């Protein structure tokens, strides 16, 4: 996440604050913020304008990875700024992105087995099963387990265990073997979708309808629809339980 400083800023040492407010340290500077605020809301309350990388603000996109420490706790904690609440004395910083080399590959030339993992992400096999990646995951996913599955060539298991990954990269940031866990998960999900998924008659029919441009008129109508009307249409839609 990238932020821009605004004139409003509180400096100084940790101090006693009024009820419902807490002391936090945002990227090294002291601020007093509402105790029930998420980290993202606290950053904005402190006078920073979030100008890039905020994403969905609902815990789905993984754009707001954050690391923080708490008073008297030696651990380095991780979380998403949009879903993690601030705590008294929290010292935090944002991770705009995690540097990595994303593999380029042709899915049609790959096979859903361990050879593909060896070819595309050989660093996977440096895993020492320490579990640090799982501890760092803000989604609570068994990251180490799906990396171990990748090493066995169990592509479907990787896809299943990494299904809720938001690709924030915090696992890769903490990994002593420097594995890019979330990208291994993405690869396996693509392989599963291409080669291992169960056949679905309904899905095939819908894809054919799209190819036949059956919904083009409705798409065109949505593209010019007033925002308020579009919003109401979205939130009034039927949602399966």
Residues 137-160: tens digit of each pLDDT: 999 999 999 999 999 999 999 999
8 Å CB contact between 53 and 2 = yes
Phi and psi, residue 90, nearest 5°: -60, 135
- Of 94, 119, 138, which closes a domain? 94
Taking a C-beta distance cutoff of 8 angstroms, is the pair 94, 66 a contact? yes
- pLDDT value at residue 196: 95
Q: Residue 215 belongs to what domain range? A: 210-235
* Per-residue pLDDT at 7: 37
Residue 24 belongs to some domain of the structure: yes
Looking at the structure, tell me whether residues 159 and 231 fall in a common domain: no
Percent of the chain with pLDDT over 70: 92
In the predicted model, what is the mean pLDDT of residues 129-144? Answer: 96
More confident residue, 4 or 133: 133
From 59, 94, 129, give the residue that closes a domain: 94
Our CA angle for 173, 58, 94, nearest 5°, is 35
CATH of the domain at 66: 3.10.20.30
CA 86, distance to chain mean position in Å, is: 19
Task: Please state the domain count of the chain.
Answer: 3
Average of per-residue pLDDT values in the chain: 90
Q: Are 76 and 91 in contact (CB under 8 A)?
A: no
* 5 has pLDDT over 80: no
CA distances from 23 to 4, 18, 30, 123 (A): 21, 10, 7, 41
| N- to C-terminal Cα separation, the chain | 34
Residue 116 and residue 36 share a domain: no
pLDDT band at 96; cut points 50, 70, 90 = confident
pLDDT value at position 53? 63
Asked whether the beta carbons of 91 and 68 are under 8 A apart, the reply is yes
Which pLDDT does position 16 carry in this prediction? 52
- Can you read off the two tokens belonging to residue 163? 């299904």
Mean pLDDT in residue range 101-123: 95
Is the entire prediction scored with pTM above 0.85?
Answer: no
CA distance 22 to 3: 21
For residue 69, tell me if it sits in a domain: yes
The pLDDT of residue 199 is 86
Flag the least confident range among 3-7, 73-77, 221-225. 3-7
pLDDT tens profile 161-216 = 999 999 999 999 999 999 999 999 999 999 999 999 888 899 899 999 999 999 99
Q: Are residues 89 and 22 in the same domain?
A: yes
Averaged pLDDT, 119-136: 97
């Amino acid at each position: 996440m990238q932020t821009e400083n605004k004139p409003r800023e509180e400096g100084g040492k940790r101090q006693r604050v009024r009820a419902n407010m807490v002391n936090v340290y945002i990227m090294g500077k002291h601020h007093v913020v509402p105790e029930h605020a998420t980290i993202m809301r606290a950053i904005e309350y402190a006078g920073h304008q979030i100008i890039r990388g905020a994403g969905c603000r609902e815990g789905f996109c993984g754009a707001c990875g954050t690391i923080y420490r708490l008073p008297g706790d030696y651990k380095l904690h991780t979380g998403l700024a949009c879903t993690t609440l601030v705590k008294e004395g929290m010292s935090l910083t944002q991770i705009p992105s995690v540097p990595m080399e994303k593999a380029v590959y042709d899915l049609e030339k790959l096979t859903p087995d361990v050879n593909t993992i060896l070819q595309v992400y050989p660093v996977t096999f440096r895993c020492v099963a320490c579990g640090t990646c799982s501890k760092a995951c803000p989604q609570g996913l068994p990251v180490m387990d799906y990396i171990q599955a990748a090493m066995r060539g169990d592509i479907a298991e990787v896809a299943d265990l990494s299904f809720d990954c938001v690709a924030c990269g915090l696992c890769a940031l903490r990994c002593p073997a420097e594995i890019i866990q979330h990208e291994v998960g993405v690869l396996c999900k693509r392989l599963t979708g291409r080669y291992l998924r169960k056949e679905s008659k309904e899905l095939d029919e819908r894809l054919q309808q799209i190819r036949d441009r059956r919904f083009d008129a409705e798409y065109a109508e949505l593209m010019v629809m007033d925002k308020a009307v579009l919003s109401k249409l979205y939130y009034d839609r039927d949602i399966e339980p």
